[in-house]
Amino acid sequence: EPAKSEDLIKWRQSAYQVLHWNMDRLKANIDSPQYNKDDGIKAANTIAAIANSGMGSLFAAGTETGKGWHPTSVKPAFFTDGKKVGEVAVAFNKEANELAKVAATGDAAAVKAQFGKVGQTCKACHDDFRRKD
Amino acid sequence: EPAKSEDLIKWRQSAYQVLHWNMDRLKANIDSPQYNKDDGIKAANTIAAIANSGMGSLFAAGTETGKGWHPTSVKPAFFTDGKKVGEVAVAFNKEANELAKVAATGDAAAVKAQFGKVGQTCKACHDDFRRKD
């Protein structure tokens, strides 16, 4: 049987929290006196994996409104502006996969720069498609 | 500043939900008349990525009790039986990484068999370390 809308919303909210965890963790690592290469790789690979997981399926018809862990914050435009959604998704995927590549080198300055690029793609999507209330 | 215990609990609950999503999705794929190799790879890679993410840090001291999305289900033994926790963690990691390898081949029967092995490692940890209430 197909997953319930409530589960889809809960799962996408969970995936975003896994991103939150790993972005916070990578930021703390970058800001620490001694950058930890292995922890940076784990964080970056987890971010890239979520980016590559195919989250689009968690925004199936019927999930425009409703509650997972909490009421969904998605704006209606997400379900109607496919072109723009595709653009922000491609941008996030590209920068997240680049982050994993850069993290593998252990170059803290390069990781910091690429972390910033990923963060910009998060913000771009939030600005367009996440309600502020 | 270090993450709050409430965030750590929320993040680990979220990571388990991402596993839930991808195990359900892979099961549905395996059970469907036409196994989809690409979707199987996405699910398996996401499962392996969570396994490799270093979730141990989400079980820091201070998170034995408390609430994330909901009250934690972890048993006290998780924080005292390090040897057993290490064993179930290593088993999950091993089988999840093998799942990603098998999924890459697109062999549905092999994916089904390896999916079962991963599920056994989930269950072993739940039996020992997750409360039933």
- Give which of A21, A47, A50 to mutate to test B binding, by max B Cβ within 10 Å: A21
Phi-psi region of A35 (alpha: psi -120 to 50; beta: other; left: phi over 0): beta
- ipTM of the complex as predicted: 0.96
pLDDT at B7: 98
pLDDT digits (tens, 9 = 90+) for B43-59: 999 999 999 999 999 99
In this structure, what are the phi and psi dihedrals at residue A25, rounded to the nearest 5 degrees? -65, -40
pLDDT at B9: 98
In this structure, what are the phi and psi dihedrals at residue A67, rounded to the nearest 5 degrees? -130, 135
| Contact between B50 and A53 using a beta-carbon 8 Å cutoff | no
pLDDT at A89: 97
Q: Choose among A3, A49, A54: nearest Cβ to B49.
A: A49
pLDDT at B29 over 90: yes
Q: Give residues with Cβ within 8 angstroms of B77, minimum separation 6.
A: B84, B128, B129
Residues of A in contact with B20 (CB under 8 A): 11
Residues of A in contact with B42 (CB under 8 A): 52-54
Residues of B in contact with A53 (CB under 8 A): 18, 22, 42-43, 45-46
Domains and CATH numbers, chain B: 5-129 (1.20.120.10)
pLDDT at A3: 86
Q: Choose among B20, B43, B54: nearest Cβ to A42.
A: B54
pLDDT at B2: 77
